[in-house]
Structure 1
């Protein structure tokens, strides 16, 4: 139980007070399981059956997949007469309110505060983690707003994630790779089984991983046995074909040609398109290209042009799969924009595979800068420096990541590029410091 007296919550006057209270309410930051949140949800009569619900799980690509689905729905004729589109995601980059947006607008403080009060009254002696509490708050707000479409991004895993108290109409698996091994397992098959736990009978299942673990495919087929074609897999039920200046997408029902380059990973757009087809959107190449042109996500290969200084790319990538994609992206953008040198500013959490994550980028980065993050799970500056030193002598270590970025920004020339990556916390720290054109 919390060391803070919950009877004082009625004295809270702003969102920051509530968030501080929630941060200290539960004994552990991550506590997977549905029993506690399930009991409180039942007491609150949580019910999203008024909406079409899409739940998105995976190791990487969840946020950008959600964003593309969101933008397409908001720009579609099918949505004009509806009550709108909501997205619940985590973590946030700058402001907590980013975690719930309705029609692209971050939720205000008061609806969250009102929801927190309702949860506090309902939970009695049940202890909830920060994530469980805030997920319930988002669901309560959604019940009040009643949008036509709700997109839920799974936080960690799937089977035991707080979002899995909701039965979705469509379950989406983006990619499966090694991350959060202490909670999910040490291989792709075990992790895949946990992610696949969002699947239900009588729903459509979209699997975007080009090499999906057998555990994912097996669970999907078991859940949907005797169902008429409810499982849709990349490379089997939908494919992409790439040319030099464009790409095509094809399913058994739809063919889209001459698609433009994407700002977010193309594989995630391909997965989102399969979801949109199952939502019965009218998909044309022109429509999809319009959505492609407007789908950019903060902290996902986000290019920032600084006034009078070099360009900066922000990316929350924090595992080997994500940094492999980053490396290929860097190689491409260096050729296109003719950047001279790449300065990497990195800070990561200690429970990540730091060595493998950095190794993916060693050929694309010229100079390295690192420092610590001011969060409990952060890797120390010494750990970060020692990992970088395994493959380069061009490492610069500072007390914190803020100082690391300031020095990189000072030393880089306007023709250079700074890459900031390693964690949501890293991007959050640096994004507020940028002088944007």
Structure 2
């Protein structure tokens, strides 16, 4: 192509700007394009144990818990799925999207974001190989992550699915472990209008003879049927009623036992982990990750699990900034950031806010929100109505953003105190001005919303 600039003459930001222009559609599901280029680049991650994580919510936190576990020497020594993991010394790579503050957050190895140079080198290889094959921004950057991991050769690779599963770019990789966290309504325009349809798309990451863990407490039949069909289609058995013995499902095969607000247990068959402490991330996702570890043969005990629980925190997931922790003491009150952007996520968020009010004594909750137009805005906001006292609606500067007017009209159906602003930062600053020291500011609705405020806080 005539506009290709010679090696290393583009910065990472210039590359990313370029990638935004080369494909006509921002979200364009399908594996044919990326698979063609992957063949040309000889993409192969078989040197590592690969775990692919799909789901409506909880993917990022499940990945983070697994990452923390595999960073522990005593954990990795027990993992014998691949011959390459023999020395007890390993590295762990996590690929996820979208990012919050920096693009480099999308690929980290041993908890360190990959540097610009590795991405630039990978982009150059892809650009040279793809010829006339058009790739979306996400396909291009996913391929780049694969090339970087091939260069760095981590022992463990954790892939967070971007959207759906069956047709997501990450699904060109045959993973050793497939995880489905939760199934709920989101991205209906691409995945279907009910949980059964969406479940089928999420289940598309599954493979025959793969370890499969499903964390949903009310798993759709489509997910179970998909997993069972893999055994039938593998040719090893023709009984269509056969249960996939490699598939482990929440409530059927493992359960949470809530002993008290500060104590819970995990039961999986004869195994019982007791006296587990409260989690910084959703407890359901911790249970799902623990089931993965258990089924991979990792020896789990309460002390080890509680250590992992204590150290697993994820940016933008009910992330609490006390007034004292903020850069330059930006606010006089505490702030919670959460990327929740669908009804299932905000239902969980409402429970967390209720608990914060009980445990920390907050008087009023000031909500700063901005969302994308293709989300279920009404039901997402409605989940929080009993917890929010004042609403501050900002405008996102992205093509898919909903207007403040539209969000305000929806919020007005069930809320009284509503304020509209030209951008999220302005909404946050006014919320801060109006909040008292014993109040809480909640920022939610989108990765973009959280990113804009988090940059002010850290």
* Fold match (TM-score > 0.5): yes
- Structure 2 residue runs of 5 or longer lacking an equivalent are 78-87, 238-242, 324-328
Aligned partners of 2:228 and 2:244 also within 8 Å:
no
1:416 matched to which residue of 2? 439
CA-atom RMSD in angstroms: 1.3
TM-score (normalised: structure 2): 0.92
Q: Distance in 2 between matches of 1:339 and 1:173?
A: 35
Q: Which moved more, 1:252-261 or 1:347-356?
A: 252-261
TM-score (normalised: structure 1): 0.97
Aligned partners of 1:210 and 1:235 also within 8 Å:
yes
Aligned partners of 2:8 and 2:120 also within 8 Å:
no
Aligned partners of 1:159 and 1:194 also within 8 Å:
yes
Cα distance per residue 1:375-429 (max 9 Å; x no partner):
0000001111111111122000111111111100111011100000000000001
Q: Which moved more, 1:175-184 or 1:246-255?
A: 246-255
- Structure 1 residue runs of 5 or longer lacking an equivalent are none
Q: Which moved more, 1:246-255 or 1:222-231?
A: 222-231
Cα distance per residue 1:50-71 (max 9 Å; x no partner):
0000000000000000000110
Q: Distance in 1 between matches of 2:263 and 2:22?
A: 51
Aligned pair count reads 432
2:34 aligned to which of 33, 37, 41: 37
Cα distance per residue 1:193-229 (max 9 Å; x no partner):
0000001001011010000111001101111344872
Q: Distance in 2 between matches of 1:27 and 1:187?
A: 28
Aligned partners of 1:57 and 1:174 also within 8 Å:
yes
- Per the TM alignment, residue 371 of structure 1 is displaced from its structure 2 partner at its CA by 1.5
1:171 aligned to which of 165, 178, 188: 178
Q: Distance in 2 between matches of 1:152 and 1:324?
A: 26
- Per the TM alignment, residue 76 of structure 1 is displaced from its structure 2 partner at its CA by 4.1
Whether 1:237 aligns to 2:253 is: yes
Aligned ranges 1:174-189 → 2 under 5 Å: 174-189=181-196
- Per the TM alignment, residue 78 of structure 1 is displaced from its structure 2 partner at its CA by 3.5
Aligned partners of 1:83 and 1:146 also within 8 Å:
no
* 132 and 41 in structure 1: CA distance in 2 versus 1, 3 angstrom threshold: same
Whether 1:102 aligns to 2:144 is: no
- Per the TM alignment, residue 11 of structure 1 is displaced from its structure 2 partner at its CA by 6.1
Q: Which moved more, 1:245-254 or 1:26-35?
A: 245-254
Aligned ranges 1:216-227 → 2 under 5 Å: 216-225=223-232, 226=237
Aligned ranges 1:272-421 → 2 under 5 Å: 272-306=289-323, 307=329, 309-421=332-444
Aligned partners of 2:227 and 2:244 also within 8 Å:
no
Aligned ranges 1:60-75 → 2 under 5 Å: 60-75=57-72
